Amino acid sequence: MEPNIRNYRSANLAEGAGRLVALDDNPTTCTLSYSRIEPGKTSSHHIHPWEHEVYIIKGTGTLICDGKEYPVKEGDAMFIPGNVDHYTLNNGGQGDILRIEINPLEAARSGGARNEGGPGTGQPPVIRNHQDLNADTGSLILNTKDGVPNYVMLYNGPMMPGAVSHPDSGGHNHAWDHVVYVLEGSATLRCDGKDYTVTEGDAILVPPNSHHQWKNETDSPMLRVTFNAIESVAHEG
């Protein structure tokens, strides 16, 4: 199977928001949406049974969960538990907030949230910046230890020019898919013997059980975030 690659610039997103990995792409882990929040405005204010995982690409603001305020900024990964009333306000004074949002498949299958908020459980969000990663966290910016029920978020550090993943084996394969967003730079994704160029703003769905490898054949670093099914954690290390 070929990977699905879709850039937010060519996706004709209505009002600057929409899914880059959707149910029609046959993901097995999650869908991925891109959104823009203008200064003084908010994301949708709602509550629903499923969780969100969000990564802030650019900008600063305030996440409000069950009436409590949490400052958020560029490079933050956010885990918002299910049944929590929430929205993000762009009040940071740094232009638009750009972000990607991950939802379990049940969210898209149900048609999404259809409410304007309500009483929540009071469970606080988890917010972790990529600069806070250390030897204990590794690349897992949101881990099962944080209570995530469906998928983990990995912040992949800079892939430097000339770098190749899994050089000894020429790549790897596994039962879960990857949902990937390229934050910066470009690279080559080799998938089942075919090369695909991916670049900043691309959302990529790497199918399960496909043999794949990343290569940086450019002169600049490449950065990405990756979302894997929680079963992948047992296979790390």
Q: Which two tokens stand for residue 155?
A: 């912040």
Where a domain ends, among 80, 111, 132?
A: 132
Please check whether residues 41 and 125 belong to one and the same domain: yes
Please check whether residues 74 and 169 belong to one and the same domain: no
Please identify which residue in the block is written with the tokens 């089942």: 192
pLDDT digits (tens, 9 = 90+) for 21-67: 999 999 999 999 999 999 999 999 999 999 999 999 999 999 999 99
Residue 178: CATH number of its domain: 2.60.120.10
DSSP string, 30-96: -EEEEEEE-TT-BS--B--SS-EEEEEEE-EEEEEETTEEEEEETTEEEEE-TT--EEEE--SSSS-
Where a domain ends, among 81, 105, 132?
A: 132
pLDDT digits (tens, 9 = 90+) for 123-163: 999 999 999 999 888 899 999 999 999 999 999 889 999 99
Neighbours of 67 (CB within 10 A): 10
State residue 237's pLDDT score: 45
* Of 173, 176, 196, 185, residue with least CA distance to 224: 185
pLDDT at 236 over 80: no
> pLDDT band at residue 15, thresholds of 50, 70 and 90?
low
Q: What is the value of pTM for the model shown?
A: 0.94
pLDDT digits (tens, 9 = 90+) for 92-103: 999 999 999 999
State how many domains the chain has: 2
Please check whether residues 85 and 145 belong to one and the same domain: no
Question: For the sheet containing 186-191, what is the strand order?
Answer: 194-199, 186-191, 212-215
Please check whether residues 70 and 86 belong to one and the same domain: yes
Please check whether residues 81 and 107 belong to one and the same domain: yes
**Is residue 81 packed enough to be buried (19+ CB in 10 Å), middle (13-18) or exposed (0-12)?**
buried
Please check whether residues 163 and 124 belong to one and the same domain: no
Structural domain including 33 reads: 4-132
